[in-house]
Amino acid sequence: MINSTTYNYLNSQETPFYYYDLELLNSTLKSIKEEAAQYNYHVHYAIKANANPRILSLIQTFGLGADCVSGNEIKRALENDFPANKIVYAGVGKSDKEIEIALDAHIFCFNCESIPEIEVIDEIAKSKNKIANIALRINPNVNANTHHYITTGIAENKFGINPWEFEEILQLLENSENINLIGLHFHIGSQIVDLSVFKSLCLRINEIQDWFLDHQIIVDHINVGGGFGINYHKPDEEPIPDFKNYFALFNEFLSLKANQELHFELGRSIVGQCGSLISRVLYVKNGINTNFTILDAGMTELLRPALYQAYHKIENLSSKDLPENYDVVGPICESSDCFGKAVSLPKTKRNDLIAIRSTGAYGEVMASNYNLRLIAKSFFSYDIKK
């Protein structure tokens, strides 16, 4: 929902572009901070969701850590003032160069995903005369009930270490002089809206902790990853996810051992609702079975519908006419370049301003320059003169 000042501002910019409501981001961060503080939980922001520097610098002021998945994300986090001792680094394929960047920056923890990775980190740390803090990323085999492309914690996924490897890992750690085990890490998938999935994760973590306890190991922290979903259908009614119930669930079902910290890595739930992709209607075209609204934004600016058949709410900001049904498509030469079929919109015409909502997470970061398109700019609510 936007007022006329915002509309005029947006309408005066060259489209397409990403628009971020920083007031909403601010309120979302306040809510997380308040709810997490009740249990002294530590929240890291998953930079992969949105690495825009303006977004990062606002998030950083709330004291969140950073969850990174590449050497460049670590650099971006440091450039935007996330303290190195609050940076965690996950990923199944960390290159030697990236491991060096992380060691040189003295990050808090590597979330390790395999035995050979631990061996390589130990070797590189030894050559630098450093100790690497690590957490084991464990594949808990819990089904996240989400799109199969964004589920990560079941046996068939490439992510994490499997329980049958634990004995071998403990032996390896005994002989790895430059590795210090400080945590257990889990992340089972993204856009999880069924909270009972997180309950299953907690119960599974309790079992896994018992195994480690039987082997005289209590780590300093448990990291339960991210994955908390947002309501793509109701961005105005539910702009801020229910963090109260989310954190309360972990408090109820996860058995932490004495002095153990609980860490989270939230991406989408923090930034998802604050972003919109703003685009203009180029043409309205009558097809055989349907009418097309052809936008100047495409899968190059927002890949999610083409890649995951993801739903994003589409609004015509310029018209209050009676609604008609359109297939809303982009200009890219791919049939999957479609934002929605039979979308009911106030009658569209050339140059109408169209908002594609809830694009703050995995929108701008997944942009490409396919068809040699330019990467779209971003604009921010804080810059609108009220």
Whole-number Å distance between alpha carbons of 106 and 304: 34
Nearer to ligand LLP, 10 or 267 (CB): 267
* Phi, psi (degrees; rounded to nearest 5) at 247: -70, -35
How would DSSP label each residue in 101-159?
HHHHHT-SEEEE--HHHHHHHHHHHHHTT--EEEEEEB-------S-GGGB-SSTTSS-
Whether residue 267 is annotated as binding a ligand: the answer is: yes
On whether 304 is known to bind a ligand per the annotation, the reply is yes
> Catalytic pick from 109, 274, 333, 338?
333
What lies within 8 Å, CB to CB, of 81 at 6+ separation is 57, 60
Q: How far is the CB of 118 from ligand LLP (least distance, A)?
A: 17
Of the two residues 49 and 169, which places its CB atom closer to ligand LLP in the complex?
49
Give whichever of 71 and 225 is closer to ligand LLP, judged by the CB atom.
225
Distance in Å, CB of 37 to ligand LLP, minimum? 19
CB 176 within 8 A of CB 130: no
Phi, psi of 315 (to 5 degrees): -130, 140
Q: Which amino acid is at 186?
A: F
Minimum distance of ligand LLP from residue 201's CB (angstroms): 13
Provide, rounded to whole angstroms, the least separation between the CB of residue 284 and ligand LLP. 29
Least distance in angstroms from the C-beta of 138 to ligand LLP = 12
Residues that bind ligand LLP (CB under 6 A): 46, 48-49, 67, 90, 150, 187, 190-191, 225-228, 265-269, 304, 308, 361-362
How many CA atoms, within 13 angstroms, populate the side-chain half-sphere of residue 100?
A: 6
Q: Considering the complex, state which of residue 36 and residue 46 has its C-beta at the smaller distance from ligand LLP.
A: 46
189 is in an annotated binding site: no
Is 333 an annotated catalytic residue? yes
The answer for residues whose C-beta is within 8 angstroms of residue 148's C-beta and 6 or more apart is: none
Q: Which is nearer to ligand LLP, 263 or 373 (CB)?
A: 263
Q: Which amino acid is at 138?
A: I
Q: What are the Cα distances from residue 60, in Å, to 2, 46, 47, 65, 261?
A: 27, 12, 11, 7, 20
In degrees and rounded to multiples of 5, residue 290 shows phi and psi of: -150, 165
Residue 308 labelled as part of a binding site: yes
Q: Which two tokens stand for residue 149?
A: 């492309």
Q: Does 364 belong to an annotated binding site?
A: no
266 assigned binding-site residue = yes
Residues marked as binding for pyridoxal 5'-phosphate?
A: 227, 265-268, 362
Catalogue the active-site residues. Answer: 333
Residues marked as binding?
A: 227, 265-268, 304, 308, 334, 362
